[in-house]
Amino acid sequence: MLDLKPEEIPSDQELRSKVMNYLEKNSKFRQANKVLFAHPSPFYWREKDIDLNRFIEEREFLRTYKNVDKNTNLYVSIPFCLKTNPSKCGYCLFPSHDFTNYGEVEKYLMSLEKESIIYADKFDNKCNLASVYFGGGTPNILKAKDYPKLIGIVKNIFSDFPEDIEMTLEGIPALFTEKKLKSIRDCGIKRISMGVQQLNDELIKYSGRKQTKRQVLDVIGWCEKIGLELSVDLIYGWPEQNEESLLNDLKVIVDQGVKHITHYELNIAGKYCPSYFAQNLKDKIPSIEDTINLYHSSKNFLLSKGYKQLTSYDFMKDDGNDENFLFEKNVRNVLSYDNERGFVGTDMLGLGFGALNCLTGTFEKPGTIYINHIDLEKYYSCIEKDNLPFMTGYLYEDKDLKLAVLFHMIQSLCIDVKICEKLFNTNVVDDYSHIWKVLTEMGWIKIKDGNIHFINNGEFRTPLIQGLIANERKKEIEVAIS
């Protein structure tokens, strides 16, 4: 809450009214998920000069003197995407660059290697590498011969590279071949994350992709044949999608034995960079009410087929091994507490165009979050000058770190109150009691065994709830940067 004089502190009724007004106003708008950036939004990032050495030193201090046991996720960006009409598949809000020729890809890989060498002296043996994720963009746009080179780039930074480490590579169905998948497997990558979005050959045309259901099934079969784990991304709330087409897609993927399904709501929000779908296909996109119904239909179907829900969008077969999906698990675990190990968590090191970096600490030293350049020429220019390609970032205060942790817990549909007490020396049930009371009455949460569980429409509305608990802090940040 903003700093107030005692006589200015609002009453319980005033706080309740604020919560109700916020929910009433914002539930009318499409929500944008906060899967990647958590708190605060990149719109509020203003730091142009991130002193990386300072944060590495702080991290070493916490590890050495405060027994903060943190490991590192490595994200490696391959920004190139096949051109589509509409651009960016009509819906994607992530930074990317249109593929023009393979010479551009080769140039980028050379710059990526130079960036890895710049990082090498800073990070080698200063952290435990937990998992590696090759994202984009479209990483399977690379040729089969280039994947060993990609692994070599990672090993430039981490000379003590665990041979059994989980490595995941994103891709689209049309660019996978059995030969390419074998090359990916042979260089140590264990899992494919395939962005299918729609299996229906007609509905996928809205994205401009030249993709077919047959291609998707081929990739699933090849992965099973050669021993690659597979995760499939699907989107609900797609233009002209109805419950029948949604459940048909899910049934096919489930029947194929895919153990991990990421099922996102179509992210057409974006106040400052709305997608093509948001601007041009509003009349074809299911209403908010219909989209909520699609969420519940898909969730109930997957639960009935033996999947367990990990987050508001992640589902895993009950006989699956969640240790095979470490990257996503670690992303949601920036800071936690273990009764035996004490403070634990995972930082993010991002390599390449548009890559996100998140070095968090504790309340004592909260850390930072920053992103690399999303303009390819600016990225190249930094690397040519032997500079790290920082674009902009944000220096956490303790209250920001608290919100970032809560955001990730909300995505996982449960706030562990005891862990929060260990991390922040405060009771989050009391801190936000006016919010929890309203959400309980609405049937969006229940407090059980001392934890806050998100249920019913509260599962779907996690981005709205995240925005609600951060609203007062957002006002403070807006004042600070104005």
- Give residue-wise pLDDT tens across range 146-194: 999 999 999 999 888 888 999 999 999 999 999 999 999 999 999 999 9
**Domains and their CATH numbers in the chain:** 6-30+399-481 (1.10.10.920), 52-330 (3.80.30.20)
CA 168 to chain centre: 14
Q: How confident is the model at residue 6 (pLDDT cuts 50, 70, 90)?
A: very low
Averaged pLDDT for residues 445-459 = 96
**Residue 85 clears pLDDT 50, i.e. is over it:** yes
The pLDDT value given to residue 2: 44
Both structure tokens of 15 = 């706080």
**Residue 79 clears pLDDT 90, i.e. is over it:** yes
The rounded percent of the chain whose pLDDT value lies above 90 is 75
pTM of the model: 0.94
**Residue 7 clears pLDDT 60, i.e. is over it:** no
Whole-angstrom CA distances from 358 to 16, 162, 174 are 34, 22, 32
The one-letter amino acid code at 174 reads A
Q: How confident is the model at residue 324 (pLDDT cuts 50, 70, 90)?
A: low
The pLDDT value given to residue 258: 97
Q: Which residues contact 105 (CB under 8 A, 6 or more apart)?
A: 80, 99, 141, 142, 146
Q: Write the Ramachandran bin of 320: left for phi over 0, alpha for psi from -120 to 50, otherwise beta.
A: beta
Phi, psi of 6 (to 5 degrees): -50, -40
Contact criterion met (CB below 8 Å) for 200 and 185: no
- Give the whole-angstrom CA distance, residue 311 versus residue 33: 12
User: What DSSP string runs through 28-87?
Assistant: TS-----TTT-SS-GGG--B----HHHHHHHHHHHHHHS--EEEEEEEEEE-EE---SSG
**Residue 18 clears pLDDT 70, i.e. is over it:** yes
- Does 37 or 437 have the greater pLDDT score? 437
Contact criterion met (CB below 8 Å) for 395 and 368: yes
The pLDDT value given to residue 58: 85
The one-letter amino acid code at 202 reads E
Q: How confident is the model at residue 209 (pLDDT cuts 50, 70, 90)?
A: very high
Identify the sign of the CA torsion 17, 20, 26, 32.
positive
**Residue 271 clears pLDDT 70, i.e. is over it:** no
Contact criterion met (CB below 8 Å) for 435 and 476: no
- Give residue-wise pLDDT tens across range 109-147: 999 999 999 998 887 566 688 999 999 999 999 999 999
Q: How confident is the model at residue 227 (pLDDT cuts 50, 70, 90)?
A: very high
Averaged pLDDT for residues 447-465 = 96
**Residue 1 clears pLDDT 50, i.e. is over it:** no
- Give the whole-angstrom CA distance, residue 358 versus residue 393: 10
Angle, CA of 445, 450 and 453, to the nearest 5°: 25
Q: How confident is the model at residue 8 (pLDDT cuts 50, 70, 90)?
A: very low
Tell me which residue has tokens 């589509």.
84
The one-letter amino acid code at 197 reads Q
Mean pLDDT over each residue of the chain, to the nearest integer: 92
Contact criterion met (CB below 8 Å) for 176 and 219: yes
Both structure tokens of 389 = 């390609």
- Does 397 or 31 have the greater pLDDT score? 397
Q: How many CB atoms lie within 10 A of CB 81?
A: 20
Whole-angstrom CA distances from 227 to 139, 146, 188, 342, 390 are 19, 20, 12, 37, 38
Percent helix, percent strand, percent coil in the chain, to nearest 5: 45, 20, 35
Q: Report the SS3 class of residue 356.
A: strand
- Give the whole-angstrom CA distance, residue 221 versus residue 232: 13
Both structure tokens of 431 = 């801190």
- Give residue-wise pLDDT tens across range 286-306: 999 999 999 999 999 999 999
**Measured over all CA atoms, what is the biggest interatomic distance in the chain, rounded to whole angstroms?**
71
- Give residue-wise pLDDT tens across range 325-380: 788 888 888 899 999 988 998 999 999 999 999 988 888 889 999 999 999 999 99
* Nearest residue to 138 via CA among 106, 102, 199, 96: 96
Averaged pLDDT for residues 198-213 = 97
Contact criterion met (CB below 8 Å) for 126 and 60: yes
Judge residue 312's burial from the number of C-beta atoms within 10 Å of its C-beta, 0-12 exposed, 13-18 middle, 19 or more buried.
buried
Identify the sign of the CA torsion 436, 437, 443, 446.
positive
Phi, psi of 67 (to 5 degrees): 55, 40
- Give residue-wise pLDDT tens across range 392-417: 999 999 999 999 999 999 999 999 99
Both structure tokens of 114 = 């130079």
**Residue 270 clears pLDDT 60, i.e. is over it:** no
Tell me which residue has tokens 């992103």.
371
Contact criterion met (CB below 8 Å) for 72 and 346: yes
Side-chain-side CA neighbours of 399 within 13 Å: the count stands at 11
Contact criterion met (CB below 8 Å) for 226 and 181: yes
